[in-house]
Chain A
């Protein structure tokens, strides 16, 4: 089973399920979780983090909708191949709410689109650095 260390903070800025979603996303993007690895079950993670199993379910549902993990009945929950071409449109669509909020917030803060795009590129470069070149090649194959 994938060993993934999560730290949740009840009372933090985000609800607990979103904290889990974010940290799992980061672990996948940062290659700490690899495609095919099995995630802990709802119950296991609930016990580990001392939170309601339903909260874990909600987080996993969200990650599954985003195409990052897949649950199969009886077998467990697995990390999806992040760079698989097939469901890219779906995964992209999953990001729409965050992008919408980002654009909205930029608008409220009087930031123009060009500056926002530059910021996005900057962050993308940082992620590339973390993931290293190997994964980049895999993505283009």
Chain B
């Protein structure tokens, strides 16, 4: 079953500028999908539409097969969400926040709550949320998102601004949720976190879905090709080659990403003498992201 289904999602911001131009994306039960894209590409807007904080101007979003018109409460009870910005009330105490969540979620697991509170050092609870450090705030939000053991976890750049130890702890909690069978849709700028968690990558560029592939395929069936700029090849030449996802000039080199293994791409391009000096290798996820996004016309 599709746990999340976006169909033809369009959304404009207040001034009328459209930020999502028709996104189609499905996440099946048990999948882990990472949403990648440059700042401003539309990731947060799409995730806010998924959790019902924004509605699409055109298109439909369904979670667990339900639309928000008919099933908002049920959706929200089966969903956990952590956003980069703080949605919890600054004047509430930590204990007060947990109390509200306990009441809102029938499936709230108090033993998981106590375990995570001990782990995060949140045993007290009299402190006001607004006075906590960024890391502590994120831990409170994460606890609220997972303690009802949601079927779907949506994390919007959950690790941004966290130190490496806090980031690792967050990943550990996410892995525990995956071990329990949760589905995960998350956005991140940390490519290592993406590699740790994601099985599929959806790349959004300027409000459009540029690519939706298994992560291992990106690492193994694509090629980063680099060519010195002194050669007679132009960026346009590279973009015309079949399977080219993006190409750009970076300092002294032309850099491009191709679909196909390095061996195949190298052999392919070796037919043309003008591609002499070309180096092909497997891209890291970061290479893939940078060259594809920066290499768009």
B179 lies within 8 A of A47 (CB): yes
A15 lies within 8 A of B215 (CB): yes
| Across-interface contacts of B199 in A (CB, < 8 A) | 52, 54-55
A10 lies within 8 A of B282 (CB): no
**Most chain A CB atoms below 10 A, which of B178, B192, B193:** B178
Q: Known: A11-B195, A46-B178. Contact between A108 and B172, CB under 8 A?
A: no
A43 lies within 8 A of B196 (CB): no
Interface of chain B: mostly helix, strand, loop or mixed = helix
A51 lies within 8 A of B197 (CB): yes
| Across-interface contacts of A108 in B (CB, < 8 A) | 263, 266-267
| Across-interface contacts of A58 in B (CB, < 8 A) | 216
Residue of B nearest to A9 (CB): B192
Q: Check: B219 CB closer than 8 A to any chain A CB.
A: yes
B198 lies within 8 A of A52 (CB): yes
Q: Check: A50 CB closer than 8 A to any chain B CB.
A: yes
- In chain A, residues 96-110, which have Cβ atoms closer than 8 Å to a Cβ of chain B? 101, 104-105, 108
Chain B interface size, as a band, is: 20 to 34
C-alpha gap A46/B197 in the complex (Å): 10
A47 lies within 8 A of B286 (CB): no
Total count of chain A residues near the partner, CB < 8 A: 21
C-alpha gap A53/B183 in the complex (Å): 12
Residue among B171, B198, B263 making CB contact with A101, cutoff 8 Å: B263
Q: Check: A16 CB closer than 8 A to any chain B CB.
A: yes
C-alpha gap A54/B33 in the complex (Å): 12
Chain A proximity of B204: nearest CB distance (Å): 21
| Across-interface contacts of A14 in B (CB, < 8 A) | 219
B32 lies within 8 A of A105 (CB): no
Contact with B along A44-80 (1 / 0, CB 8 A): 0011001111110010000000000000000000000
C-alpha gap A84/B158 in the complex (Å): 48
| Across-interface contacts of B197 in A (CB, < 8 A) | 51-52
Q: Known: A50-B175, A52-B175. Contact between A11 and B284, CB under 8 A?
A: yes
Q: Check: B168 CB closer than 8 A to any chain A CB.
A: yes
Q: Check: B244 CB closer than 8 A to any chain A CB.
A: no
B192 lies within 8 A of A10 (CB): yes
Residue among A15, A52, A54, A104 making CB contact with B219, cutoff 8 Å: A15
Residues of A within 8 A of B (CB): 10-11, 13-17, 43, 46-47, 50-55, 58, 101, 104-105, 108
Residues of B within 8 A of A (CB): 30, 32, 168, 171-172, 175-176, 178-179, 191-193, 195-199, 215-216, 219-220, 263, 266-267, 282, 284-286
Apart from A47-B176, A53-B175, 12 more pairs, CB < 8 Å = A10-B192, A11-B192, A15-B195, A15-B216, A15-B220, A46-B175, A50-B175, A51-B197, A53-B179, A58-B216, A101-B263, A105-B263
